[in-house]
Amino acid sequence: MAVTATAPATRPSAAASRTGAVAVTAALLLLVAALAVVDITQGTAAVGAPEVWKALTGRADTADSSVVIASRLPRMTAALLVGSVLGMAGAALQAVSRNVLASPDTLAVNAGSYAALGIAAATGVTLPFLASSGVAFAGGLIAAAVVLGLSGLGAGTVRLVLAGSALTLGLTAVTEGMLQLFPQETEGLYKWNQGSVAQNGFDGVLQMLPVAVVGLVGLLLLARKVDALALGDDAARGVGVPVRSTRLTAVVLAALLSTSAVTLAGPIGFVGLCAPALVRPLARKIRAFTRSRASLPVAGLTGAALVLGSDVLLRAVVPSDVAVAVPTGVVTSLLGALFLVVMAARVRDTAGAAQPDRLRIRSRGVFIGTTAVLVAALVGLVVAAVLVGDSKLLLGDVVNWAQGRAGQTVSFVLDTRVPRVLAALCAGAALALAGTLVQAVTRNPLAEPGVLGVTNGAALGAVLLVTTVPAAGSWTIAGGAFAGAAVSAVLVFGLAAKGGFGQNRLVLVGFGVATGATAVISMLIILTDPFNATKALTWLGGSTYGRTLPDVVPLALVLAAGLTVAVARRTELDLVSLDEDTPRLLGLNLSQGRFGFLVLSVLLSATAVAAAGTIGFVGLVAPHAARALVGRQHVRVIPVAVLLGALLVCGADLVGRTVIAPAQLGAGLMTAVIGTPYFLYLLVRSRHRP
Amino acid sequence: MRRHLITAAAATAAALALSSCGTTEPAADDAKSADSLTLTDGTGAKVTLKNGPAKKVVGTEWNAVESLISLGVAPTGVADVKGYKAWDSAVPLKNDAKDIGTRGEPSMDTIASLKPDLIIATTDLPAAAVKQMRKIAPVLNLRPADAADPIGQMTKNLDLLAEATGTTDRAAKLKKDFEAKLAEGRKALAGAGKDGAKYAFADGYVTGNQTSIRPYTDGSLIGAVNKKLGLKNDWKVKGDKAYGLGTTDVEGLTKLDDDVHFAYIGNKDDKGSNPFTGVLKKDKVWTSLPFVKKGNVHRLPDGIWMFGGTESMNQYVDSVVKALKK
């Protein structure tokens, strides 16, 4: 499902192309230089344009010139370096994978570095800069290696992005767990994760410069072979290009480049995705840019302009003391998200129909057996979840409690524990159902409320409401979450509906909305409650902490309604999920049915978010697993997926509450930790299938 | 997959059989009433202690824990015991208090199992969590800080805790000692010619290759104490509404006056919390600051909890006086 640049319809003459390329490069250089100059004049110290001029001409006092030399210039250089390095890394990754979604973000490189740093910080080891760069570098490389190893080089781009996003979710969950468990040790790490180009002097930049140069030179040397890959693996092999080793080298070099950026400034989101995408339309007009040797440096320049522009914009818009608190990465993410959405709406989706699932048809007996086992496991788990916790209870306690005869401690424990168990159960079931519906409607293996930005939209709505109205009740929060989910869903599905839910377009827009919403949430937390990141992380980590029965009511009602509708219209779901033509031949109104199912899934995910925060993975894993277990008929998939979802979240909640008691982890973090390996296992297994 | 599920089901069935019937607690009996006590907490809610002053008290935030220990009440449960020991050495935790989990998400189960007479929470906790705690025991929900009147908020909390634990005499003494300490400190500083001296207190942390500085403005507890000591707060940045903390970077320090005295508290257990003796030594912006050149940078002892109670502040006053008299 790659969106490839289509060959130019009219071929300009080579000479004109070269002049065009030179003109574009010169214009970009000029823009970057202008932005760099503006960036130097901005900051918290009272050192503006006149002082900078004096400092540069050696006529300023020592204080001003040291600000320019030790603070402004390093920051500007870091922005330049980080932007260009990320732009090139993204361009290289997209070229070798022939996938516009490939970038340091989607290959889990950033998440790997973040997790490695988080673990290092939590163990209390404070490392010097170079060593911590080494740790981050190792983390990023390992993550990229795992993603590539699991997805298999050249074995399909969907798998690459799937493995990458799965690992990103899992690793981010681990790191956020660290942040919750070690708030002192990891202080500042949350902010760091947003990415900021500020520097303590030139040391970092100087240490990273050689790495960047090695990466760049390596990629340029490799450029001709990378270009050959664009023809397709077989064609490349035909002209004598070693496909595997070329791809491997390019990816290692790109990972090297992006981890150097991450260690220098934290993950500056989206630049690696956007910069090459901005260059791509140019390549249609100017032929020189179809070659990597020309397009890589241009992507680098574009990346530099993006990062510098974001930094300049941030410091121009907000007062300098506030600008210190808002990381540049948040701004690039916001800009990038906006850009991605616009680009996705315009891009020509050349992806063919998805390959039909090659799943065996399962017998009725298998379905009944699976369901019975799942029900038994779920009952057992629920009982365990009620009995086991920070303080262990016995069944007699529960009986006493049910009859209203329990002692004070037992009643209290159960009064608080039972709503949490119910919230976890319902949220898991609702998310699994929402995922099943979305995957059926969009026929997209990547589709999930989380990936499509609906969950993050809901979280944004809820967080907005919680920060402005601290005393909001459960229905109000559910309403806020629904409003956020609805807005993001209208945006995502509305834009993707153009041309019948093009697969890439849907995921691209969703990805953009998800990242944009996350960036806004981060900004809200930093600006409204800077010293209480734990509170926000608790919420965003998908926690059932402090849930009461009334909080679960909206979710339970929506879940019941959703199940009824889904079961009643199961045949329609089967048809919709099959292909584009069959339902039309049968005279079914596709868009109306799709719309209904989508609204339902939005409602389900919004209420789940309101009741238990953002819990990723369930909507992705549960339907996949259900189809693998019982085949693709929705009458069977729905109950199995719902049971699996409930099991997963309830189990995750139980583990999160007990393993490190009395401290606890959010269920969302635990689902990601449990879900990631399982999901990766699914990926590996399906690779060996004929 | 299916085999795993069967195993899981079997395991839970076995667990069920083992746990079978039985209780962990005898049936409830009615609480006897003694002279009851009604208080108004930081949110304006009425809190009634049916059996008079509380003896078994749980604290979810370190400032409340410190005040409790100062009042002579050994807390039964404390959030993040290890962290408390690292950051608040002015008032050490003497008894073997039970760890109730993190400060942001204390465990309800553990608190309930301690059967406390009283829980001290703060408004930094989610409202829903406080609501649940009220079912375990009466909850005093304190406002942890108020940038409009930091010392007033601290003593208000101390008084409330004293009333709830029947230790008002002790609180009066703590407050008197604190006043005396402030007056004594002010006199000592004036004697050293530091009356009205420009002063800036901060902490900071390093992540990756960046240094963040956290200025303590007039609205912070430390800022208010500084004012009482006759020092002039030199920060121009604005602090937040509760803790009076601002944000800036190394560059922002150039806005401090040339003759300012700069003080900070780090933590030897957490090197990331101490840029001033680390990365900044090589930072040109830092080394060319006039007050750094003059040697007017003071590291105050570790373990003075900047958001603590009267005893932490007494220790702070002593350390500031000692640093500035040099």
Task: Assign B68 a pLDDT band (cuts: 50, 70, 90).
Answer: very high
For residue B285, list chain A residues with Cβ-Cβ distance below 8 A.
Answer: 45, 66-67, 70-71
Average pLDDT over residues A652-665: 78
**DSSP secondary structure of A107-152:** TTHHHHHHHHHHHHHHTTPPPPHHHHHHHHHHHHHHHHHHHHHHH-
Q: Which CATH number does the domain A19-345 belong to among 3.50.50.60, 1.10.3470.10, 1.10.3720.10, 1.20.120.1810?
A: 1.10.3470.10
Round to whole Å and give the CA distance between A512 and A492: 9
Task: Say yes or no for a CB contact (<8 Å) between A396 and B21.
Answer: yes
Q: Please indicate whether residue A420 or residue A131 has the higher confidence score (pLDDT).
A: A420
Task: Assign A471 a pLDDT band (cuts: 50, 70, 90).
Answer: low
SS3 A617: coil
Q: Please indicate whether residue A161 or residue A82 has the higher confidence score (pLDDT).
A: A82
Residue B150 has pLDDT above 90, yes or no: yes
Of A532-541, B84-93, B257-266, the poorest mean pLDDT is in A532-541
Round to whole Å and give the CA distance between A502 and A505: 5
Give the count of beta carbons closer than 10 Å to the beta carbon of residue A331: 28
Q: Is B249 touching A (CB cutoff 8 A)?
A: yes
Q: How far lies B147's CA from each of A531, A690, B127, B196, B240, in Å?
A: 14, 67, 21, 22, 7
- Every domain range in chain B assigned CATH 3.40.50.1980: 37-144, 193-325
Q: Please indicate whether residue A188 or residue A34 has the higher confidence score (pLDDT).
A: A34
Residue A615 has pLDDT above 90, yes or no: no
Average pLDDT over residues A272-292: 81
Residue with tokens 């799942």: A374
CB A406 within 8 A of CB A414: yes
Round to whole Å and give the CA distance between A183 and A187: 6
Give the count of beta carbons closer than 10 Å to the beta carbon of residue A478: 28
CB A664 within 8 A of CB A607: no
Task: Assign A304 a pLDDT band (cuts: 50, 70, 90).
Answer: very high
Of A154-168, A543-557, B67-81, the poorest mean pLDDT is in A154-168
CB A138 within 8 A of CB A262: no
CA-based nearest residue in chain A for residue B278:
A128
Q: Please report the beta strands in B162-229, taking only residues with DSSP state E, as ranges in sequence order.
A: 198-207, 210-215
Indicate the average pLDDT of chain A.
79
H helix or E strand, kind and range, residue B139: strand B139-142
* pLDDT confidence of residue A56: 76
Q: Is B2 touching A (CB cutoff 8 A)?
A: yes
Number of alpha carbons in the 13 Å side-chain half-sphere of residue B76: 17
Task: Say yes or no for a CB contact (<8 Å) between A416 and B282.
Answer: no
Of A6-20, A115-129, A215-229, A236-250, the poorest mean pLDDT is in A6-20
CB A447 within 8 A of CB A577: no
Round to whole Å and give the CA distance between A544 and A520: 23
Structure tokens at B293: 């050149």
Task: Say yes or no for a CB contact (<8 Å) between A66 and B129.
Answer: no
* pLDDT confidence of residue A499: 57
For residue A266, list chain B residues with Cβ-Cβ distance below 8 A.
Answer: 207-208
Of A25-34, A119-128, A410-419, the poorest mean pLDDT is in A119-128
* pLDDT confidence of residue A4: 41
Taking the CA of residue A96 and the nearest CA in chain B, the distance in Å comes to: 31
Q: Please indicate whether residue A465 or residue A505 has the higher confidence score (pLDDT).
A: A465
Which residue, A441, A683, A430, A437, is CA-closest to A542?
A430
Sign of CA pseudo-dihedral A645, A647, A650, A651: negative
Q: Please indicate whether residue B172 or residue B101 has the higher confidence score (pLDDT).
A: B172
- Every domain range in chain A assigned CATH 1.10.3470.10: 19-345, 375-685
Question: Which CATH code is given to the segment(s) B193-325?
Answer: 3.40.50.1980
* pLDDT confidence of residue A425: 93
Q: Please indicate whether residue B198 or residue A167 has the higher confidence score (pLDDT).
A: B198
Q: Is B112 touching A (CB cutoff 8 A)?
A: yes
* pLDDT confidence of residue B29: 46
Residue A191 has pLDDT above 70, yes or no: no
ipTM > 0.95? no
Q: Is B17 touching A (CB cutoff 8 A)?
A: no
Average pLDDT over residues A608-613: 86
Round to whole Å and give the CA distance between A652 and B15: 18
CA-based nearest residue in chain A for residue B8:
A377
Q: Give B322's contacts (C-beta < 8 A, 6+ positions apart).
A: none
Residue A689 has pLDDT above 50, yes or no: no
Structure tokens at A504: 């890439």
Instruction: Give residue-wise pLDDT tens across range A47-67.
Output: 777 777 777 777 777 777 788
Residue A94 has pLDDT above 80, yes or no: yes
Residue A508 has pLDDT above 60, yes or no: yes
* pLDDT confidence of residue B132: 84
H helix or E strand, kind and range, residue B142: strand B139-142
Average pLDDT over residues A635-639: 90
* pLDDT confidence of residue B2: 54
CA-based nearest residue in chain A for residue B12:
A380
Average pLDDT over residues A427-450: 85
Residue B130 has pLDDT above 90, yes or no: no
SS3 B46: strand
Task: Assign A238 a pLDDT band (cuts: 50, 70, 90).
Answer: confident
Structure tokens at A308: 């510098």
Of A184-198, A238-252, A402-416, B311-325, the poorest mean pLDDT is in A184-198
Residue A2 has pLDDT above 60, yes or no: no
Say which CATH class A375-685 falls into.
Answer: mainly alpha
Residue A593 has pLDDT above 50, yes or no: yes
Average pLDDT over residues A77-86: 92
Residue B5 has pLDDT above 60, yes or no: no
* pLDDT confidence of residue B66: 93
Task: Assign A352 a pLDDT band (cuts: 50, 70, 90).
Answer: very low
H helix or E strand, kind and range, residue A470: none
For residue B101, list chain A residues with Cβ-Cβ distance below 8 A.
Answer: 661-664
Question: Which CATH code is given to the segment(s) B37-144?
Answer: 3.40.50.1980
* pLDDT confidence of residue B220: 93
Average pLDDT over residues B145-167: 92
Of A2-6, B287-291, B313-317, the poorest mean pLDDT is in A2-6
CB-nearest to B9 from A373, A391, A538 is: A373
Q: Distance from first CA to last CA of chain B, Å, rounded?
A: 72
Task: Say yes or no for a CB contact (<8 Å) between B20 and A384.
Answer: no
SS3 A677: helix
Which residue, A427, A688, A367, is CA-closest to A554?
A427
Q: How far lies B135's CA from each of A402, B42, B117, in Å?
A: 17, 19, 12
Q: Please indicate whether residue B258 or residue A614 has the higher confidence score (pLDDT).
A: B258
Q: Please indicate whether residue B22 or residue A522 has the higher confidence score (pLDDT).
A: A522
pTM above 0.90, yes or no: no
Task: Say yes or no for a CB contact (<8 Å) between B283 and A400.
Answer: no
Residue with tokens 């009461």: A548
High-pLDDT (> 90) share of chain A, %? 13
Residue A350 has pLDDT above 70, yes or no: no
Structure tokens at A644: 């699996």
Residue B50 has pLDDT above 50, yes or no: yes
Round to whole Å and give the CA distance between B224 and B217: 8
Task: Assign A519 a pLDDT band (cuts: 50, 70, 90).
Answer: confident
In DSSP terms, B37 is beta-bridged to B49
Backbone angles phi, psi at B297, to 5 degrees: -110, 130
Q: Please indicate whether residue A111 or residue A678 has the higher confidence score (pLDDT).
A: A111
Of A18-32, A50-64, A133-147, the poorest mean pLDDT is in A50-64
Structure tokens at A650: 């309830």
Instruction: Give residue-wise pLDDT tens across range B197-233.
Output: 999 999 887 766 678 888 999 999 999 999 999 999 9
* pLDDT confidence of residue A29: 92
Average pLDDT over residues B74-91: 88
Indicate the average pLDDT of chain B.
84
Q: Give B267's contacts (C-beta < 8 A, 6+ positions apart).
A: B86, B87, B273, B274, B302, B303
Task: Say yes or no for a CB contact (<8 Å) between A470 and B127.
Answer: yes
